[in-house]
Structure formats: C-alpha cells, structure tokens
C-alpha cells in the first residue's frame, strides 16, 4: 500500500474523511444509547440509520473530485 503524496492535506480537507469520522461517531452513539437508560428519548436505530446514510455520503464524496485536493486543480 502506498499513500498519496499529499495525504496530510487529504486528512485535513477531504469530505470523505470528515463524513467517515461522523459515521464512526454516530455508530458509537448507537452503542452508548442503551447505557443512557431512557435519559434521552431517541428510538433505537436512529443513530445507526444516520451512520449508514453518512457512510453512503462518504462513499460518494470519495468518488467526487474535491476542489484543492485533486491533481486537476493544480
């Protein structure tokens, strides 16, 4: 495996990375929800559904050329 030359810039600015991190956070919230024991009135599965949608958005963002990150912009 070989990293892209500007991997630091990709980590800082790529929407696919941001969305993937958000999906991970939402997945973690879904796991923690039972421990809140009804303190928050959010039905089970809501965070999982949001995480799935966010993951799909991250997949899409990975395929789209993002301004300032692709070789075509330089």
pLDDT in tens, 4-38: 888 888 888 899 999 999 999 999 988 888 887 77
The CA distance from 61 to 18, in Å, is 10
pLDDT digits (tens, 9 = 90+) for 34-52: 887 777 788 888 989 999 9
Task: State the pLDDT at residue 23.
Answer: 96
Measured between alpha carbons, how far is 19 from 21 in angstroms, rounded to an integer?
A: 5
Element (H, E) at 26: helix 15-32
pTM recorded for the entire structure: 0.77
Distance in angstroms (rounded) separating the CA atoms of residues 73 and 51:
31
Q: What is the pLDDT of residue 71?
A: 53
C-beta separation of 72 from 33 below 8 A: no
């Amino acid at each position: 495996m070989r990293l892209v030359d500007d991997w630091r810039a990709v980590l800082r600015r790529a929407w696919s990375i941001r969305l993937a991190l958000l999906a991970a956070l939402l997945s973690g919230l879904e796991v923690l929800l039972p421990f809140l024991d009804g303190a928050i009135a959010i039905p089970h599965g809501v965070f999982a559904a949001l995480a799935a949608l966010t993951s799909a958005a991250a997949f899409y963002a990975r395929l789209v050329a993002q301004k300032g990150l692709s070789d075509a912009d330089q």
